Amino acid sequence: MKALGIDETINNATAPIAEVIGQFVFFKISVADAELPLVVLWLVAGAVFFTFYTGFIGIRGFKHALQLVRGDYTDPNSKGEVSHLQALATAVAGTVGIGNIGGVAVAVTVGGPGATFWLIVAGFLGMSTKFIECTLGVKYRNENPDHSVSGGPMYYLRKGFSARGMDSFGKLIGGFYAMGIAIGALGIGNMFQSNQAYVQLNHMTGGMLDGLGWLVGIILGAVVFAVIVGGIKSIAKVTEKVVPSMAVLYCFFSLITILLNASALPVAIGNIFGGAFTGEGVAGGVLGTMIIGFQRAVFSNEAGIGSAAIAHSSVKTNEPITEGIVSLLEPFIDTIVICTITALVIATTQVIAPDFAGDATGVAMTSVAFERQFSWFPIPLAFAAVLFAFSTMISWSYYGLKGWTYLFGESAHRQNVYKIIFCLCVVLGCMVQLGPLLDISDALVFLICVPNILGLYFLAPIVKHEMDSYFARLKSGEIKKFM
């Protein structure tokens, strides 16, 4: 009898657990002929509520968000560790990953071009959710003795509920969130990303790296460790350079592809808007198209998951609301810009095919779309995909680390333990296929959105009060530019 490999052994052991957890977290209800995961409904319903509750802050605050990122209102003496731009870049790095390339391609295949329209709508709604959670992330952050800061849902859930006499409940859901993000970061923000980085590098080199996943993993893990060992300041310095570069690179080649197929652009745009309200050929019709678009947006920009609040809580500011405003740009960049451009590449090159299934093969579909223009176009796509994966890993290392230190303390030794575990998982991700283990990780990450959204509903009045106060002071001239 042939001995099982390490990946087969782990998969066999974790598959039953993954199935049970997955069925619970991603439980679906039938709507018409379509199926809607309740967790997606929970996230989208929250986004709709927060959009109206904040008076469409995604529109009202957009211009000011650009001013804040530019540094117009940055007080150099504010508490915190990184600038508005660095915090934004770190959070964007955590969301812009393989899903932006492959996941959108699959969404367009399954949901039709109309799914793109609902993806954009969901991205806009998600801006308000990010606004609430990132404001709370700064407001309830901890200032450590070494002048570093720690924040995120685990802190605002515990402190927010404790302030209202629900101390035990706050500790319970804060601890649950910390556990979920610490474990989940090892899968969705690590092993899946490193695995896909290896796949892209191997494809780019024509299979020269077959059987060398361990070597790629060691090199990638070492590079990741070199960045994350310096903490959020080191991560932010890298992301503020890598994120704009990779976004410009990807968008540049995507726009060239779209322009080379400009004759198909009017039809593609027409199909996006027409398909959104007809749902032709999609299970569940219009509702099915809407569900697929919303689902992809939720999985892409992570609005409501709370992860971005961890990155944004490290910002240098004395006004928590300013970072909430800056965070509006995150779903805009991730979902409305990059995901939409990907959808237009797929639509104008007409590579939509039902044979592609899953984010990984969705990347292959996008690669085919690029290759139809010039044979070498998949090379910059692969390079961009590797950058996406790398930036996602270093950002998620910080998310997981903050969950870990919330549970076990902030000492340097305990932080290093998690960083080493994280980098070992980078190597493991390049070497083996751990489907069930990654499924458990995905489920944990989306399960923690339940207490997070609950906390956002509960604490939203505090954010609204601060928002109204801030904009009133801004309008009166009390808040001035630092130029």
The pLDDT of residue 311 is 92
The position carrying tokens 């540049």 is 252
In the block, tokens 């906390």 appear at 455
User: Could you identify the residue written with the tokens 């302030």?
Assistant: 163
6-476 is classed in which CATH architecture?
A: Up-down Bundle (1.20)
| pLDDT higher than 70, residue 287 | yes
444 band by pLDDT with thresholds 50, 70 and 90: confident
pTM of the model: 0.90
Of 416 and 22, more confident: 416
Q: CA–CA separation, 165 vs 182, rounded Å?
A: 27
Compute the average pLDDT of residues 391-404.
Answer: 94
Query: Would you state the pLDDT for residue 129?
Result: 95
143 bridge partner residues: 149
Give the model's confidence band at 387: pLDDT under 50 very low, under 70 low, under 90 confident, else very high: confident
Q: N- to C-terminal Cα distance for the chain? A: 73
Which tokens sit at 26?
């991603």
Question: What is the average pLDDT score of the chain?
Answer: 86
Structural contact between residues 195 and 430, judged by C-beta atoms closer than 8 angstroms: yes
Q: Please tell me the distance from the alpha carbon of residue 129 to that of residue 53, in angstroms, as a whole number.
A: 10
Given this model, what pLDDT does residue 359 score? 46
Amino acid 116: pLDDT? 87
How far apart CA 223 and CA 263 sit, in angstroms, is 43
* Structure confidence by residue, pLDDT tens digits, 290-343: 777 777 777 778 888 999 999 999 999 889 999 999 999 999 998 888 888 988
Going by C-beta distance under 8 Å and a sequence separation of 6 or more, which residues neighbour residue 196? 98, 359, 360, 363, 385, 389
pLDDT at 279: 62
From residue 129, alpha-carbon distances to 135, 286, 306, 448 in Å are 10, 25, 9, 15
Q: What CA–CA distance (Å, rounded) separates 306 from 185?
A: 13
In the predicted model, is pLDDT for residue 442 greater than 50? Answer: yes
Min mean pLDDT across 171-185, 276-290, 316-330, 424-438 is at 276-290
The mean pLDDT of 357-385, rounded to a whole number, is 73
Assess whether pLDDT exceeds 60 at residue 39. yes
In angstroms, rounded to a whole number, what is the distance separating the alpha carbons of residues 436 and 446? 15
Instruction: For residue 438, give the nearest of 372, 325, 364, 359 by alpha carbon.
Output: 359
Q: For residue 53, give the amino acid letter.
A: Y
Q: Classify burial at 483, counting beta carbons within 10 Å of its beta carbon; exposed 0-12, middle 13-18, buried 19 or more.
A: exposed
Is residue 32 pLDDT above 90, yes or no? no
Tokens 């924040």 belong to which residue? 151
DSSP per residue over 443-456, as a string?
Answer: HHHHHTHHHHHHHH
- In this structure, what DSSP letter does residue 81 have? S
Span of 102-116, 356-370, 400-414 with lowest mean pLDDT: 356-370
Average pLDDT over residues 366-373: 79
What is the per-residue pLDDT for 360? 46
- Given a cut of 70, is residue 2 above it in pLDDT? no
Query: 3 pLDDT exceeds 80?
Result: no
Residues in the chain: 483
Beta strand segments in 1-120, E: 28-31, 34-37
Amino acid code (one letter) for 202? N
For the chain, domain boundaries? 6-476
Instruction: Map tokens 């961009």 to a residue.
Output: 384
Residue 195 in contact with residue 393, Cβ under 8 Å?
Answer: no
Section 137-155 average pLDDT: 91
Q: Residue 405: which of 389, 416, 396 has the closest Cα?
A: 416
1-10, 456-465, 467-476: lowest mean pLDDT where? 1-10
Joined together, the tokens standing for residue 125 give 């709604």
**Mean pLDDT for the stretch of residues 166-173:** 94
Residue 306 falls in which region: left (phi positive, over 0), alpha (psi -120 to 50) or beta: left
pLDDT at 179 (0 to 100): 94
**pLDDT at residue 436, rounded to an integer:** 74
When mean pLDDT is compared across 101-105, 307-311, 352-356, 419-423, the lowest value belongs to 352-356
- Sign of the C-alpha dihedral computed for residues 350, 356, 358 and 361 taken in this order: negative
Cβ–Cβ under 8 Å, residues 87 and 232: no
Winning range, highest mean pLDDT, from 30-44, 60-74, 403-417, 439-453: 403-417
Binned at pLDDT 50, 70 and 90, residue 274 comes out as: confident
Closest CA to 382 of 96, 188, 107, 98: 98
Contact 169, 177 (CB under 8 A): no
In this prediction, residue 187 carries a pLDDT of 86
> Residue written as tokens 């892409």?
300
State residue 282's pLDDT score: 55
pLDDT: which is higher, 153 or 338: 153
